[in-house]
A and B are shown apart, each in its own frame.
Chain A
Amino acid sequence: MRTLGALHSVLAFAASSLTDRSIRWPTWLEWQRVLFLQDYNTRVVMLGTMLLGLAAGMVGSFTLLRRRALMGDALSHATLPGVGLAFLIAPSLGLAEKSLPVLLTGAALSGIAGVVAILYVRNLTRLKEDAALGIVLSVFFGAGIAILSIAQQSVGHSAGLESFIYGKPASMIESDRLLIGCTGILSLLIMGSLFKELTLLCFDEGFAKSRGYPVLLLDLVLMGLVVIVTIIGLQAVGLVLMIALLVIPAAASRFWTQNLKQMILISAAIGGAGGFLGAAMSALFRNLPAGAMIVLVCSALFFVSMMFGTERGVVVRALRRRDLNRSVDHQHLLRGMFELQESRGPKAGIPFSELQTLRSWSSHRLLSEIERCRRRGLVFRDSGQHLSLTSSGMVEASRLVHEHRLWELYLITHADVAPGRVDQSADAIEHVLEPELIAQLEELLLQKRRVQGIAPSPHPVDATEHVS
C-alpha cells in the first residue's frame, strides 16, 4: 500500500470536500457581532492577537534595522525543546504539566539558550550570521521534535503542545490576553528607556562600541525582547508563523517613513491591524485558521505598503525617477537649443533632426519634452517645424547654460581638469546644483571678471560633441 504520510489522505479528502461546499458569506449580524467585539470569546481573541501584533511590530522594527529579520525565525524554533522539556519535567516538580507558566518558562529558558548559541557561533567561530541562525533553528527544532515525540508517549493527551507549532488563537483566554498585554507594555518600556542605545546599535554598531556602549549586552537585550514576544505569540499564532509578525509589519512600515520613531509606530499599527483583522476573518468565515489569516492580512498590508508607501514605495520611487528624468531632459533640451542658437544666431530656427543628434534620446522622449516646453511657453515651433526659444525660454536656458559653464570653469580653474573633458563632468552634476552653490561659484569665479550675463563657454561649443 502506498503511504505518503498523512498529507495525501488529507488532500484527498480536501479535494472531495471542496467540490460540494462553498464559503458561506456571513450575515450582517455576524459582521456586527465580530467587528464590534460583542462576543466574549471573539473579543478576547481579537484583542489578544491585536496586542500581540502591536508588540511584535515594535520589536521587529529594531531587528529589521539590525538586518536580523530572521532572528525571530531561529529564536521561535529554539523555544520548542524548552516547551517539551517543561512538559516532561513539570509532573516531577509537582506542577500541572500543561500549565502555561511552566511551559512558557521552559520556552523562555530554551530561547535564551538559543540566543547564547547564536552568539557563540557568530562570535567565536568564523561562521557568519546566517549559518548561526540556520544551525540554531534546525538543531533546536530537531531536538524539540524529538522531545515532543517522547512527551506524546509519556502522557496520553499532549495534544495542546502541537498548538505551540501551529498556534490556536481560539484557545486564548482572558489571562492570556493579560499576559500579552503586560509583556507588550514591558517590552515597550524596555525599548523606550533604551531607545537611543538600541537605535545606535541598529545603525552603527562600530560607533556604539567606540563610544563605550555595552554592545553585547544591548544585543542580548534586543534578542531577549524577541524571545519574550515570541513566547507570548507561541500560543496565538504558533512558532512557524510568529516570525511573520516580527518581520512583515516592520518591513512594511519601512516604506512609509525614514524616521525610526514613526517607523515603530506604523509597524505596531500594521501588526495590530493584522492581528485584529486576521482574527476577525477567522471568526467570520469557517475554516480559515486564525494564525495563517493574521499572516496573510499582514502580507496584504505589506504588499500595499510596498506599492504605495509614501517614502520608499515602488510607485512613489517610479514617479520620483520619472520627474528627475523629465527635469534632466528639460535642462538638456533648453541648453542644447541655447548653444545651437548661440553658434548660428538667434533668428535661425533649429530643425528637429538636429536636436535629436544632440543626445542619445529617443524621438518620442524628445518630442514629449518639446511639447511640455511648448506648453509652458518656453519653446516656439514655426510652420516649417523649426524650433526656437521664446523670450522666457531664453531666460530659463541662459540660466541653465550659466550654471553649466560655471561648473566647467570651476573644474578648469580649481580642479585642473582639461577643458576638453569638463563638458561631460559638468553635464552629470548641473542638474543637482543648489542655488546656494551657484551663488558660491559665482562669487568664486566671476568676481574679478565682472562678466555680465552668461560667461562664454570655456571650450568650443559644437553640436557633434554631445553625441554619445
Chain B
Amino acid sequence: MSALSNWSWDYDGWIVLAGILCAVAASLPGNFLLLRRMSLLGDAISHAILPGLAVAFLVTGSRSSLPMFLGAVVVGLLTAVFTEWIRNFGEVDEGASMGVVFTTLFALGLVMIVQAADHVDLDPGCVLYGSLETTTFDMVDVAGTEIPRVVLVLAAVTVINLVVVVLFFKELKLSAFDPALATTCGISARLMHYLLMIIVAVTAVASFESVGNILVVAMFVVPPATAYLLTERLRSMIIVSALIAAVSATLGHVSALVVPSWFGYRSTSTSGMMALCAGILFFAVSLFAPQQGVLIRILRRQRLSLRILSEDLIALLYRMDERKSGVVASIGQLRATLLSGGFMSSLLMKQHSRKGHVIATENGYQLTNSGRRLGAELVRSHRLWEQYLVSEGGVAVDRIHGQAEQLEHFTGRELRDRLQQETSAPVLDPHGSPIPPE
C-alpha cells in the first residue's frame, strides 16, 4: 500500500469528490438514455461540443467560462437536433445520422482550433481526457472554506440533474418506455426528449471542462447498464446506478494510484481508471447478478438439468422394477436408455443411494421403498399427463410421450389430483400401462 502513503485528503479527497459528482451527475440522465436505447448520444454530444467551445471563445474573446459553457451546450443540443433532422429528412437510420453529425462537428472543432492556434503545439488531449489531477489548482473561497471550482460546478450540475429527474420522473419514465402513450397522456415526448438532451449536454460540457470526456461518456452508459442488470424497477435502477457510479469513481482514483505501482510505475490517469473500474464492476455484475447474471443463469440451468436427470434415473428404475420386481440395474443399463453422461449419472445415483432411495449392490442399484414412492409419483405424473393429452387435448397417442416426459418434472401432488379429476380417474394410460396410485 506504499502508493497510498502519500494520500492527502486535501488533494486526493477533492479529486475523488469531483469524480464522484461527475459520475453521479452523468449516471442520472444516463438511465433514461439507456432505456431509450440512445446510450451513444452521450458520446456523440460530448464529442460534438468542441466547435461550440471554440466559436464561443473566438466570438467573445473572453476567458470567462459562461459564454463558453452556453456555446458548448447549444452545440450539444444542435447535435441532437441535426441527428433528428437528418434522420427525418434523409431517412438515414439513427446511428448513422448520429455518426455523421458528431464526427463532422468534431472535425470542424479540430480545424477551428488548429487553424486559429497557428504554431501552438496543441495537445488536444484536454479535449478528451481532461485533467482531474489538477482539480485542486483552482480553488474558490466559499464562506471561508477553500473549495475547488470544479467541485462547485459539478455539484451544481448534479443538483440540477437530480432536480430534473425527481421533478419530471413520471414524464421521463413514461416517455422513455412508451413515447406514444406519453403523447396521448398529454405529456410531450418531444419536450421530454429535449429536456433530457439539455441535461445531457450540460453534464457533458461541465464534465469536459473539468474531468474530461472519457469519464462522462463512460458514466452515461456503464453504471445505468450495470444497474439495469440488478433491478427491475426504474426508481431503484437510478439509485443503484448512482451508487455504482460513486463506487467506481472512488475505486478509480485509488487504483490509479495503486495499480501502476505494482508494475513499478507512477500513478496513471484517474479518469481512465474510473472508466475502467466502472467497466470491471459491470463485468462482475453481468456474471454474478442474482437474476440476470450470466454465470448464475448457467448454474441455474445446470441445476435444473441435473434435477431432471436425477428424476429420470429414478423413474426409469421404477419402470424396470414394474416389469420385474426387485430388479437390479447397472449404471450402464440406465445410461443406455437415457443416453446420459456416465459421470453425472453415477454421481446422481450415489446421491440417491445416500438419500436412501436406492440400495447399491455389486451389480448395480435396486429401488428401496422410499425410492419406489418417488418413482411412482413421477411415473404417475407422466401417465396421467399422457391420458390427459389424449382424452382432453386430442393429441395422437404416438406423440404424447415426449410432452409428458417434459411435464412430469414440473407436476406436483395438487396438479396430479386435478389431472386425475379431469381424466375421470383412469387405471391405465393410453399405452395400456397401469397408472400407479398416489
Residues of A participating in the B interface, judged by any CB pair closer than 8 Å: 1-8, 10-15, 17-18, 21, 23, 64, 67-70, 72-73, 120-121, 124-131, 133-135, 137-150, 153-154, 162, 165-166, 240-241, 243-244, 246-248, 250-251, 254-255, 287-289, 291-293, 295-296, 299, 302, 306, 312, 314
Cross-chain contact B116 with A14 (CB below 8 angstroms): yes
Give the shortest distance, in Å, between A93 (CB) and chain B (any CB).
16
A255 to B260 alpha-carbon distance, docked (Å): 50
Cross-chain contact A139 with B218 (CB below 8 angstroms): yes
Give the shortest distance, in Å, between B95 (CB) and chain A (any CB).
4
Beyond contacts A17-B120, A141-B218, A142-B218: 18 other A-B pairs, Cβ-Cβ < 8 A, are A4-B65, A14-B116, A15-B58, A64-B93, A130-B37, A133-B39, A137-B43, A138-B214, A142-B271, A145-B129, A146-B276, A154-B265, A166-B110, A241-B106, A247-B96, A250-B96, A296-B104, A314-B90
Given contacts A7-B127, A312-B91, contact A139 B116 (CB under 8 A): no
Cross-chain contact B103 with A243 (CB below 8 angstroms): yes
Give the shortest distance, in Å, between A69 (CB) and chain B (any CB).
4
A137 to B115 alpha-carbon distance, docked (Å): 29
Cross-chain contact A21 with B118 (CB below 8 angstroms): yes
Which of B42, B89, B99, B107 is in CB contact (< 8 Å) with A314? B89
User: Can you name the residue of chain A whose Cβ is closest to the Cβ of B129?
Assistant: A145
Which of A18, A23, A138, A241 is in CB contact (< 8 Å) with B103? A241
Instruction: Enumerate chain B residues within 8 angstroms of A153, measured Cβ to Cβ.
Output: 265-266
User: Can you name the residue of chain A whose Cβ is closest to the Cβ of B89?
Assistant: A314
Cross-chain contact A146 with B268 (CB below 8 angstroms): yes
Given contacts A142-B215, A142-B273, contact A135 B130 (CB under 8 A): no
Give the shortest distance, in Å, between A165 (CB) and chain B (any CB).
7
A309 to B108 alpha-carbon distance, docked (Å): 24
Cross-chain contact B107 with A241 (CB below 8 angstroms): yes
Cross-chain contact A17 with B118 (CB below 8 angstroms): yes
A251 to B86 alpha-carbon distance, docked (Å): 11
Cross-chain contact A139 with B282 (CB below 8 angstroms): yes
Give the shortest distance, in Å, between B119 (CB) and chain A (any CB).
8
Cross-chain contact A292 with B221 (CB below 8 angstroms): no
Cross-chain contact A162 with B118 (CB below 8 angstroms): no
A229 to B116 alpha-carbon distance, docked (Å): 31
Cross-chain contact A127 with B220 (CB below 8 angstroms): no
Cross-chain contact A306 with B86 (CB below 8 angstroms): yes
Give the shortest distance, in Å, between A25 (CB) and chain B (any CB).
15
Main SS of the interface on chain A? Answer: helix
Cross-chain contact B222 with A69 (CB below 8 angstroms): no
Cross-chain contact B37 with A69 (CB below 8 angstroms): no
Which of A6, A15, A243, A244 is in CB contact (< 8 Å) with B61? A15
Given contacts A6-B125, A125-B286, contact A150 B265 (CB under 8 A): yes
Given contacts A70-B95, A127-B229, A146-B272, contact A14 B58 (CB under 8 A): yes
Cross-chain contact A138 with B268 (CB below 8 angstroms): no
Give the shortest distance, in Å, between A265 (CB) and chain B (any CB).
19
Cross-chain contact A244 with B222 (CB below 8 angstroms): no
23 A-B pairs with CB atoms under 8 Å apart are: A1-B138, A4-B209, A14-B58, A14-B117, A17-B117, A127-B34, A127-B228, A131-B225, A133-B40, A134-B221, A135-B221, A138-B43, A138-B220, A138-B221, A139-B279, A141-B214, A145-B272, A146-B272, A150-B265, A166-B124, A240-B47, A241-B103, A291-B107
Cross-chain contact A255 with B90 (CB below 8 angstroms): yes
Cross-chain contact A131 with B39 (CB below 8 angstroms): yes
Instruction: Enumerate chain A residues within 8 angstroms of B276, measured Cβ to Cβ.
Output: 139, 142-143, 146
Cross-chain contact B269 with A145 (CB below 8 angstroms): yes
Interface positions, chain B 116-153, Cβ under 8 Å from A, are 116-118, 120, 122-131, 134, 137-138, 149
Q: Is there a chain A Cβ closer than 8 Å to B254's Cβ?
A: no
Task: Among B53, B279, B294, find the residue whose CB has the most chain A CB atoms closer than 10 A.
Answer: B279
Q: Is there a chain A Cβ closer than 8 Å to B111's Cβ?
A: yes
> Which range contains the number of B residues in contact with the other chain?
35 or more
Instruction: Enumerate chain A residues within 8 angstroms of B65, measured Cβ to Cβ.
Output: 4
Given contacts A131-B39, A142-B276, contact A137 B225 (CB under 8 A): no
Instruction: Enumerate chain A residues within 8 angstroms of B275, measured Cβ to Cβ.
Output: 138-139, 141-143, 145
A291 to B111 alpha-carbon distance, docked (Å): 9
Cross-chain contact B269 with A11 (CB below 8 angstroms): no
Give the shortest distance, in Å, between B59 (CB) and chain A (any CB).
10
Give the shortest distance, in Å, between B49 (CB) and chain A (any CB).
12
Cross-chain contact A296 with B108 (CB below 8 angstroms): yes
A292 to B263 alpha-carbon distance, docked (Å): 37
Give the shortest distance, in Å, between A285 (CB) and chain B (any CB).
9
Cross-chain contact B114 with A126 (CB below 8 angstroms): no
User: Can you name the residue of chain A whose Cβ is closest to the Cβ of B58?
Assistant: A15
10 closest A-B pairs by beta carbon, nearest first, are A142-B275, A139-B279, A14-B116, A145-B272, A146-B272, A138-B218, A244-B103, A134-B221, A247-B99, A295-B107
Give the shortest distance, in Å, between A1 (CB) and chain B (any CB).
7
Instruction: Enumerate chain B residues within 8 angstroms of A247, measured Cβ to Cβ.
Output: 96, 99-100, 103
Q: Is there a chain A Cβ closer than 8 Å to B245's Cβ?
A: no
Task: Among A14, A18, A293, A306, find the residue whose CB has the most chain B CB atoms closer than 10 A.
Answer: A14
Q: Is there a chain A Cβ closer than 8 Å to B11's Cβ?
A: no
User: Can you name the residue of chain B whose Cβ is closest to the Cβ of A166?
Assistant: B124
A140 to B134 alpha-carbon distance, docked (Å): 24
Cross-chain contact B120 with A10 (CB below 8 angstroms): yes
Cross-chain contact B111 with A293 (CB below 8 angstroms): yes
Cross-chain contact A126 with B229 (CB below 8 angstroms): yes
Q: Mark B174-217, 1 if CB is under 8 A from A, else 0.
A: 00000000000000000000000000000000000100001101
Give the shortest distance, in Å, between B434 (CB) and chain A (any CB).
44
Which of A6, A124, A240, A244 is in CB contact (< 8 Å) with B123? A6
User: Can you name the residue of chain B whose Cβ is closest to the Cβ of A255?
Assistant: B90
A12 to B54 alpha-carbon distance, docked (Å): 10
Cross-chain contact A5 with B134 (CB below 8 angstroms): yes
A153 to B92 alpha-carbon distance, docked (Å): 45
Q: Is there a chain A Cβ closer than 8 Å to B98's Cβ?
A: yes
Given contacts A135-B282, A139-B276, A146-B268, contact A251 B120 (CB under 8 A): no
Instruction: Enumerate chain A residues within 8 angstroms of B54, measured Cβ to Cβ.
Output: 11, 14
A166 to B113 alpha-carbon distance, docked (Å): 13
Cross-chain contact A165 with B128 (CB below 8 angstroms): yes
Instruction: Enumerate chain A residues within 8 angstroms of B128, measured Cβ to Cβ.
Output: 145, 165, 240
Give the shortest distance, in Å, between A126 (CB) and chain B (any CB).
6
Q: Mark B221-251, 1 if CB is under 8 A from A, else 0.
A: 1100100110000000000000000000000
User: Can you name the residue of chain A whose Cβ is closest to the Cβ of B104?
Assistant: A299
